[in-house]
Chain A
Amino acid sequence: MTMVPQGGSAIARGGGGNTSSLYDVLELILDRGLVIDVFVRISVVGIELIKIDARIVVASVDTYLRFAEACNRLDLEAGRNAPAQLPDVVGKMVEGGARGKSKGALSGAVEAVTDSLTGKKPREEEPEEVEEEEAPRRRRPARRPVRREKE
């Protein structure tokens, strides 16, 4: 089968109606793709915008101090409206989410997402969670660990 012809480049369109940057796509073009060893690769050093940043290091004294300062500055009384609470998110995702077979996986993922936002296990007394109990609860995905690099 064939792909639907695209109106203009994905770069220009910014991807799926979202905020992907040119930078993100350039990194793919430069770093991935088929490599043919018997061909010569031209030097790409000269291209501006090619510097690919290493991941920002979280475990360093500088970061600690920065986080501490950011916490000190927070006005804790002001905004208590921060991240969405999990059970709400789960419910909405299940009804509004992708159709059909993706449903189970989505609610499982949202649970993981929710855990991560609240930093705790879903509270058992939440009435909104009842519908979830019908199916065996999907816990944190155990499949492929996310690879990360720390410098």
Chain B
Amino acid sequence: MALYVYSIATEGHPRRLDGLKGVGARPAPLRSVTAGPLSAVVSDISEEIRPKRRDLLVHQEVQERLMADGPVLPLQFGYIASDDDAVREVLDTNADGYLAALERLDGCAEYHLRVAQEDEEPLLRQILEDSPEARELNERIRAGDPDPQLPLALGELVAREVEARQESLAAGLVQALLPFAREHVVHPPTGSDFLNLSLLVPQEQKEDLLTAQANLVREIGGGVALRLAGPLPPYSFV
């Protein structure tokens, strides 16, 4: 029977999963498949899965429950093994790598930060204040100069400034938060974000990270919004 695979942990991990059900329209209970020093957390699936948002949340909930009791390697959402043997074979074949990763992640959680320019006005205001060139272009347009090149020139200048300032702010934020992380990954930002940062944070650094982040939120201002999620399973570090 096919299995949905959630997570890999050591065989000694308590894997307390009572009350949780698996993915799918008719969810099966969670169980473990063990090979040597490693166990995978799985649930049986009898039909073709048409994943729903709910299933993503189930996947996440299993990881969170497990990470409360020790390190786990969270799988990416959506992986199906053909049967128990296929899982055992994977655990056997990659045992050394998985054990090393579990050791590396022990006592740590992922914190995920995204930063966006939520309100552009303070930034544009500041750019106009700092750049006489931008100010002059802006004033000519406002005074009714019909030259169609003016808005393009102003816009390009401002866009360049916006980008440079956001890049510099992003680099500063990474630098500010790095001391609290054992590892970090900067991902390409999406949407209106200009920073997408994952930190692997040891438990004993967590409070310091949150304090630093709260200070940054308070002090940065300027229409910049920080969104921090965590503690999360270490998706970005497996």
Chain B residues in 8 Å Cβ range of A72? 138, 141-142, 151
Which of B142, B189, B192, B235 is close to A32, meaning CB atoms less than 8 Å apart? B235
Contact B68 A6 (CB under 8 A): yes
Which of B55, B128, B168 is close to A71, meaning CB atoms less than 8 Å apart? B128
Within 8 A of A (CB), among B118-151: 120-131, 134, 138, 141-142, 150-151
- The answer to the question of A56 belonging to the interface, with a C-beta cut-off of 8 Å to chain B, is yes
Contact A71 B220 (CB under 8 A): no
- The answer to the question of B159 belonging to the interface, with a C-beta cut-off of 8 Å to chain A, is yes
Contact A102 B165 (CB under 8 A): no
Chain B residues in 8 Å Cβ range of A26? 53, 56
> Which size class do B's interface residues fall under?
35 or more
Closest-CB distance, B58 to chain A (whole angstroms): 10
0 or 1 for each of A86-98: is its CB under 8 Å from B? (1 = yes): 0001001100111
- The answer to the question of A27 belonging to the interface, with a C-beta cut-off of 8 Å to chain B, is yes
Contact A29 B208 (CB under 8 A): no
- The answer to the question of B229 belonging to the interface, with a C-beta cut-off of 8 Å to chain A, is yes
- The answer to the question of A130 belonging to the interface, with a C-beta cut-off of 8 Å to chain B, is no
- The answer to the question of B30 belonging to the interface, with a C-beta cut-off of 8 Å to chain A, is no
Which of B59, B165, B180 is close to A119, meaning CB atoms less than 8 Å apart? B165
Closest-CB distance, A47 to chain B (whole angstroms): 5
Contact A148 B79 (CB under 8 A): no
- Assuming A11-B57, A36-B75, A72-B138, is B179 touching A146 (CB within 8 A)? no
Task: Tell me the nearest residue of chain A to B89, going by C-beta.
Answer: A38
| Top 6 A-B pairs, shortest CB-CB distance | A64-B155, A109-B176, A112-B172, A83-B222, A33-B76, A20-B229
**A: which residues have CB within 8 A of B?**
1-6, 9-11, 14-21, 24-36, 38-44, 46-49, 52-56, 58-59, 61, 63-72, 74, 76, 79-80, 82-84, 89, 92-93, 96-99, 101-102, 105-106, 108-113, 115-120, 140-141, 143-149
Give 5 CB contacts A-B under 8 Å. Answer: A4-B203, A29-B76, A30-B77, A41-B78, A116-B172
